[in-house]
Chain A
Amino acid sequence: MKTRGKKLDGVKLINRERAESVSSQKQYIPIYAVMLLLMMIYLVRLWHLQVLQGDSYRFQSENNRIRIEDIAAPRGIIFDRNGVPIVENRPAYNLVIIREYITDLDMTIRELARLCERGPDEFFSIIEANKATPKFVPIRLVSDMDRDCLARIEAQRVRLPGVVIQLDPKREYKWNGTAAHIIGYLSEITEAELKGEKYLGYYSGEDIGRVGIESSFEKYLHGSRGGRQLEVDAVGRRVRLLEEHLPIAGHNLWLTLDMDLQKTVESLLDDKTGAIVAVDPTNGAVLAFACSPSFDQEKFIRGLSKDEWFALSKDPRHPLLNRGCGAGYPPGSTYKPFVALAALHEGVISSSSTFTCPGYLEFADHMYRCWKEHGHGSLSVERAIIESCDVFFYQTGLKLGVDRLAQNVAMFGLGERTGIGLQGEHPGLVPTSWWKKQATGIPWQKGETISISIGQGFDLVTPLQMALGYAAIANNGKLWEPYVVKRIEGGSSNEIDEIKPRLKRKIPIEQCWFDLVKKALSGVVEDPRGTGHLIRDPVVHIAGKTGTAQVVQVAQGANRKLLEKLTKSKDRDHAWFVGYAPASDPRICVAALIEHGGHGASVAAPLVQKVIMAYLKNAEKPLGE
């Protein structure tokens, strides 16, 4: 067996050798064939390029040069709800040099520096930094020149070969500082961002949105840049356009903001620190969104110096802070309608249940005071809202318990981000016993339930959340997701994308309880003893709730009135008013917060009244569209 096996192997081997030498020659034929085919194609191609078209290429190489130019894409324009442009683009003139055409670089730079009234060293350092870039690539010396400088250079340009004035669109905020927190601003893309995945296709020197809509709608607003290949003569003058790819402008945005209303609102806030947010309770559209103090958006476009940036970011009034939705505040008494709805829904109280307010509640050796020193006496939930009785809600809160309260209040969107789509939104806080154990390690204390029942303690809300929460009361339980951009238009095929309102949830609370609380809220203004009676208007029926949120804990037994007079402004209470109108058919819902403003009734409520009046008066006029 073994010998046979060996023999077979031997035969195999011989056969293999033979097969190999026979097949060998044939195997090489495809390689030679491919090589000869490619050789023929290449020689024909070279004949075509060098001999048949050689004259034309020779001419191009000797007499002409090709230059490439970028064409920046204009960013999308931002309009208000009525089509008034708020943010546009203006032409900016940049001074650019192309070293390839410059015979005497030193002289040119000195001349340009003289014309621009700048130090030549500044320009030399730019040239030095771009030493490695090819000579045909334009280098920008000055961005956004002023008119005088432009005129001087334009006059001298004939004798300055290689000096080019480049036209670029630049952002222009028509009402600089108005709605700045919601619109945002731009600044130049950084090296690190250029390398990242997020900004693929961006070029160095381009501006990108930093906050607000400019940032969250960056991908729409930013168009795509174009470019052209130019045939130019020996000194860089354009001879012929070879190829051009036009830039595609960014999409235009139509906001839900009403610019007239926005300006009115901002003028109301002028010397105050705070925010006013107005929404449409029928769909969640943001009608006005003002934060004070505001900031200078154009400054960012021009480029902030280090000192300017330092001054802005260290300003004790924090002008960059978005107070409308980027910071949480204790809601104070404006929280009470939610507590009332929670208690009514859970069956803890009924419309006729009463508590007696002697001016304080004693609980576990603590005195919890009502704002009214001598008490409200016996009152029902409706009167408790109208007169803003603290003791009534202390009792209600205790009966309800922290977790049942939180569960119901959270349905109104408090304690969660509204989804407005702006960076840095604050979620607020609706405390639960689980949350406190997690956050501090200490179990929930019953006394804390008393504080949170009147919107103090751990409670934190944003003005935007309040406006939407009250809108949900006003429209019988529809919580809308707020939106600022109502239409996106433009792009390659000029499509128009209308943004539809989104209902976040329908709050499952019985209609009769909404009716009761709404009646109470209109009583706040209409009733002679209502805390907001000051802003009553005979024509427009406003409903709402005042709030005065303590910033500093008042010591037990202290004289509140005296204390208020003595305290410095930064220790004063936050003033709130949240309201909607007309009470029977709400069309606008406004939340106003004035930091350290004092009383909600006297400080915040008149502002809300003016906003509502301005909006309703305007809305009577037929709109242009």
Chain B
Amino acid sequence: MTRMEKSAHFSRRTLLKASGALVVSVGAPITFESVRAADDAAAAATKPPLTPDQLSSYIAVNADGTVSIYFGKMDMGQGLSVAIRQMVAEELDATFDRTKIFIGDTATSVNQGGASGSTGVQEGGKQMRMAAAEARRVLVEMAADKLGVPADQLTVKDGIIRAANDAAKQISYADLIGGQFFNVHLDWNGKYGNALYAPGKAKPKDPKDHTVVGQPLPRDDIAPKVFAQADFCTDVRVLGMMHGRMVRPPVAGAVPAKVDESSIKDIPSAKVVWDKGFLGVVADKEWNAIKAAQLLKVEWSDATPPFPDQAALYDHIRKAPVRKREVAGKQAGNVEDAFKTAARIIEAEYEWPFQSHSSMGPACALVDFKDGHATCWSGTQKAHFVQTGISAILQIPQDSVHVIWTTGPGSYGRNDADDCAADAAFLSKAVGRPVRLQYARDQGTGWDPKAPASIHTVRAAVDAAGNVVAYDFLSKGFSRIDIDTNGSQPKDTLAGQTLGVALRSGDGFGIPGDSYGFPNKRTAWETIAPLLDRASPLRSAHMRDPVGPQIHFASESFIDELAAALKVDPVEFRLRYVRDPRDIAVIKAAAEKAGWQSRPSPRSDQRGDKVSGRGISYAQRGATRVAVIAEVDVDRSTGKIWARKFTVAHDCGQIINPNGLHHAIENNIVQATSRTLWEEVKFDNRSVTSVDWRTYPILDMTQAPEQVDIVAINRPEVAPSGAGEAASRPVPGAIANAVFDATGVRIRRAPFSPDYVKSALS
């Protein structure tokens, strides 16, 4: 359905009215009498500021008794909205079906960090849980005053507060405060983003009393999408809107030297927007914008081809000067000394390519810049950061930018969404009209920020008795924050970089997440400079489970190599060294569910081209633990691998919604299988050459697993940790170990494409 948006500068007030909440402040101290009657003027005058230390920034009770939840993180399709509603309904003792959630709108929510690091429940939910508990406490106090019953003699169910021993004495949340604001101060830690935390005086419930949390409630956004009734950010339109397309250079680093506007003069309404390296076109009709971008004649500056030959990528990483080295994580003993006394040293090196988000649709954003204010509809993971980024690009105050997160075409981290919002903002300002910009496919795949390529060298010292006495793990690669995880600064968006802001590449990588208790242990990383120090299609940033798949491909393959070298069963070998009880539990649970038979790898009982194998891998991601067993079929004659079956044991503490968790795990497994077997950004010395689904293939339906079995370990007493990404990281190692089990050949480079595997097997 076409929806025309009104792109006025929304106030929170108008939005709350639109969402059913009237707005009147509850003045402190909190008594029923202090609640003033609702009218617009009073509301505007007494509305508490939208700041993290105000309860009203998170929760409102509407006149009809429904509860509005304002959330500063986004649901990228993993059911976070439902989980947050469950956590709020639980603490508030409100009816789940009468809660509504408004997410990622800078006019109605504070910056809780957006979608980031699988912290939707872990950090975002934690805050919303505390806010809801505080709201309940405040409401019960108000009821105590109103009913003349001590607060500790009141109970709450479905938003009705009742005296425990007098059924006649009751009052609803709606009667107490419906349509009015809380004006309750929270104890904010002063931080924005994922670290934002602002509890009140209330304590949350004991998990044993939970009735809503833990239920497999369905998502309510699926039916509207299936019946074509939901709008994505690609579908928002405003009056007077133009369509934009960007023009990128054929050689990365080149800038337009001459632009022949007459080359598109026959395309109705088409205009060029050119400023330094920034080059785009707009037109009233989308197809005309596309044609204009294709037909525009541009002479580009001479640019030295910036990239090495693809075949030399890993050599480049090996030889490149180290820009930053960090020894990180829990170290033990003295690794160098321990290696001197080793009876045997085992070493290996692993390689992982650049990978692309390649979201299902290229990024799209609509920006309406008018009268010094900008309104932006974007599928970004981080609306509040995009607000800052647009204010910087347009050089207007942050308060003059309103970003409305709207479901986007898929997102797994810092993809092309934030670049697109900044580009659209610049186009809108340049032409004085609202501009809807959607990238072309070759820009979505070719020019999105990339997961960094890396090499990983691992060595272990083994004593005469076959014990691992030292372990030394080193990653070296491009930085995970060559550009930052969000588009809040011009240096981190293509718009900023093409307009001449210098790249300031950050340094970051990571280390394995495990609890192997080797007596001497060192884990470290090193970063190298980007291949091009300005707008680059190989700039690297966060992609789902940033650097997790590559690091654990190496670390868990290597553990398997040790087990094989010492002729020990891979599960048994891990259990000898893993120290954390929850790590042990996921490994055992996966093995039990999969019916794991104890024996060393590889198998030695198979002949012929078609062979099968099994492999295990496990990892921690923050407080979450995942063990994955892969069972694969390998065709030696073609090199083709089918990851036929996965068994996953997953522990993320308390499970908020088993339905959402199941899908999150399953989708991680399948996407990570795609990355392991198929995905590699290709480039020549001029630019990226994998620019669509043929040149950047992903897993297709014939390659999807036959079965994914999941053991979801629930620990209600343990604070929930993330599930959005954790199951991705053990997958490459599990598949590699299964291929070794099947063939006796160790694959140390991703992706395990048929050609590469065939050559490795021969």
Decide if A and B are genuine partners.
no
Interface residues of B (CB under 8 A from A): none
